[in-house]
Structure 1
Amino acid sequence: MPIPAEHPVLTDGVVTLRAPRPEDVDGQVARQREDPGRGFDDEDARRWISFGITDAWARRERLVFVIEHAGRYAGTASLQPDVNNGAWVHYGLSEWARGAGLASRAVRLLLEFGFATCGFHVVHWWARAGNWPSRRVAWATGFRLGGLGGLGETIPRMAEEGGERVDAWTGWIGPDDPRTPRQPWFDHPVLETPRLRLRTWREDEIPRITTARTNQATAHFLPFIPQPFTAEDARFWLKDMAEQAASGRRFNWCVADAETDQGLGNLTLFGIHKDKVRDAELGYWMHPDAQGRGVMSEAIQRLARWYFAPEDADGFGGRRLFIRTAASNTSARRTAEKAGFRHVGTERAGFPLATHVDDKVIYDLLVTD
């Protein structure tokens, strides 16, 4: 199917994709100034709106639409045809238009146009690794992201951006694929008690993480964790936790002091089954200066209240939580018991330690407990 000679008008009633107009210049200039790192100035923006978009369309190099919302210029979205009868999708919004799902609406309109009108057999997406807003749009509109299972596989130095080679995420979607997410994206609720706040970790807390993860107990009970746990290890770990949340696999909270916001420990929810079983496993560790204060058992109790609460009450709707640890890990066992978990079984020689294989003890907590 041929690409139309002129811009059609596409709309879902909330956003409209259309050809550029002279009054869009101010919006494009403002957007360029919001992101000076792209290397474009005001004159570039004026040329792009005045004739650049139209010329690119005429040459079939890029099919660019202006995104309009509430009568205002909100950004642009485009399809860049390739030699294999596919296309690459690109999109960007002005700051005022972000956070309301407008980019996802625009991409869905663009996909329908690309597949039904232009006859593209596949549409590709890429973004600089770490560009979570762009990835969120790709996820929301049904792209298959990265490798198997929807994990965002990073390709080193895949693309050029701002004159430098950058690592990138990729994805693709076909004409018959649904335009909805393929897996959950776990957004972490902030959970609080009078003295604790459960939130996500920040990049500026890497020294705190490395100190907490570098110790003799961790080396003994969790020998797969590098020792010493370096800043590079911590940065990789933070990225991995973000990846697993984005692929609907794991929640990971920093347990922080409610008054000072200092990170005291880490609480992870993983192995999550949202089917009839509705169970998940907990893992946790503490910074040395926060041990012995009952912090982690209190954090687990708060997480459990959220986990067992129905989804229509802003909970997770879970049925069972369980904890597995080494039989000789008296600290972890004491934390589980203080949080109300019951010892329900022991697996002999089931927990590898640094020096030998220990028994594995299992604790659980049910929604009915």
Structure 2
Amino acid sequence: MPIPAEHPVLTDGVVTLRAPRPDDIEAQAERNREGSRWNDEDARRWMTFGITDAWKRRERLMFVVEYQGRYAGSVALEPDVDGNARVHYGLSAWARGAGVMSRAVRLILEFGFTTCGFHVIRWWARVGNWPSRRVAWATGFRFSETIPRMAEENGRRVDAWNGWIRPDDPREPRQPWFEHPVLETSRLRLRTWREDEIPRITTARTNQATAHFLPFIPQPFSAEDARFWLKDMAEQAAAGRRFNWCVADAETDEGLGNLTLFSIHFRGEVRDAEIGYWMHPDAQGRGVMSEAIKRVAEWYFAPESAGGFGGRRLFIRTASTNAPARRTAEKAGFRHVGTERAAFKISTHVDDEVTYDLLITD
């Protein structure tokens, strides 16, 4: 492959990728102290000759990331025998949050594809490494299935996210990354769930009604199930597939239930989505969920220029015999628009499915 013998200088006018210099050593050592297992001597060896030696051996093509005239981190390509490469990157704390690493990755992708001739550049990160995933998302990587126990971290096997990008792929996000707005009413706050609320989630999801109307949900719903569910909801938001809010008491911040916006369709200017919901037993019968649905609908129908989603239609589907869910939909202003026979599986049989909807014009 036409890999240059020495580091070229790459820049987009804001971020520069270059070879290491002696004055980078202390900055690298400082970055190591932010969480790396490397010590100051490791930093000195790596910055003095480790990076250049790895480049000469074609094992790792690493650049220093310079931002505002300072060492800000590093980015590298690791070639493989098939003519592809894997991207690695890390950024100092002071430079985070300004899009520095996304710029650096775009520069090294162009170098890898145009100069080195790589066919595919791969990325992977431990599940839960959201900063790394956001950079991969921002620079156009396609995401594949999570691979269980792919990597080792601190002596244990961990699951890993995976992605790839090709030479002709755009260097920009392929789908939206949903950021959850905090929505409020006089008595409710809709926000994301926290890890310390797992007991509240397990109690709410373990009940006879859930077992009957949603038989695919494990019963009892364990803490492990709740942790997996929280992780999945975060990944669904990152993939632009669904929003998921904890419906909390505005005064105490106690979680009262859950509201999900999913099956979100983008068809030009037409945007439709489905709503799903469940309540904690001690919050039922107080009109909480219908109030939460009205608030989400208000945000959903508001134009993007006003901080909304710019949606057109919301709908709710449930079993025809699920009277509480139907009452909630009706109290929230949704209209019953159809019944599909034998289309909703519950624990005892396949029930009829009822559909409610709400339009922006309602």
The TM-score by the shorter chain falls in which range? over 0.9
Structure 2 counterpart SS, 1:160? strand
Number of residue equivalences = 361
Residue of structure 1 equivalent to 2:254: 262
Q: 1:155 aligns with which of 140, 147, 153?
A: 147
**Which TM-score applies when normalising by structure 2?**
0.96
Q: SS of the residue aligned with 1:219?
A: helix
Q: Give the AA of the match of 1:226.
A: P
Partner of 1:150: none
Which whole-Å CA distance do the structure 1 matches of 2:292 and 2:96 have between them? 33
Cα distance in 2, alignment partners of residues 164 and 196 from structure 1: 41
1:162–1:19 distance in 2 versus 1, CA, 3 Å: farther
Equivalence for 1:149: none
**Which residues of 2 match residues 99-118 of structure 1 at below 5 A?**
99-118=97-116
- Aligned twin of 1:193: 185
Aligned to 1:23: 23
1:304 partnered with 2:302: no
Gaps of 5+ in 1: 147-152
Question: Secondary structure in 2 aligned to 1:4?
Answer: coil
Equivalent in the alignment of 1:119: 117
Rounded Cα–Cα distance in structure 2 between residues aligned with 1:160 and 1:355 = 44
Distance 2:149 2:278 in 1: 35
Whole-angstrom distance in 2 between the partners of 1:164 and 1:225: 29
Partner SS for 1:99: coil
Alpha-carbon offset, residue 358 of structure 1: 2.4
2:348 is aligned with 1:355: yes
The CA deviation at 1:125 is 0.7
Q: Look up the SS of the partner of 2:265 in the other structure.
A: coil
For the 8 Å contact 1:39–1:162, the answer to whether it is kept is no
Give the letter for the 2:195 counterpart. E
- 1:331 pairs with one of 324, 327, 342: 324
Offset of residue 138 of structure 1: 0.9
Secondary structure of the residue aligned to 2:308 is coil
* Aligned residue type for 1:264: L
State the AA in 2 paired with 1:262: E
Q: 1:97 aligns with which of 92, 95, 98?
A: 95
Q: Distance in 1 between matches of 2:157 and 2:215?
A: 36
CA distance in 2 between partners of 1:102 and 1:163 (Å): 31
1:80 to 78, 81, 84: 78
Matched AA of 2:298: R
Q: Give the corresponding residue for 1:252.
A: 244
SS at structure 1 position matched to 2:98? coil
Distance in 1, matches of 2:146 and 2:282, equals 36
**In structure 2, C-alpha distance between the alignment counterparts of 1:113 and 1:253, rounded to whole Å:** 41
Deviation at 1:70, TM superposition (A): 1.0
Shift of 1:157: 2.2
**Map of 2:11 onto structure 1:** 11
d(CA) in 1 for partners of 2:23, 2:175: 40
Shift of 1:163: 4.5
**d(CA) in 2 for partners of 1:16 and 1:368?**
51
Identity %: 81
Cα distance, 1:162 vs. partner? 4.1
With over 3 angstroms needed to count, the CA separation of the structure-2 counterparts of 1:85 and 1:349, relative to structure 1, is closer
CA offsets 1:81-125 (integer angstroms, 9 cap, x no match): 111111110001111111221111100000000111111111111
**Whole-angstrom distance in 1 between the partners of 2:59 and 2:345:** 57
Deviates more, 1:270-279 or 1:226-235: 270-279
Equivalent AA in structure 1 for residue 64 of structure 2: V
1:314 aligns with 2:343: no
SS in 2 for 1:176: coil
Cα deviations across residues 144-198 of structure 1 (Å, max 9, x unaligned)?
111xxxxxx2212222334443221111111111111122221111111122111
2: CA distance between counterparts of 1:94 and 1:286? 42
SS at match of 2:267: coil
Q: Given that residues 274 and 318 in structure 1 are in contact (C-alpha distance below 8 angstroms), is that contact kept between their aligned partners in structure 2? A: no
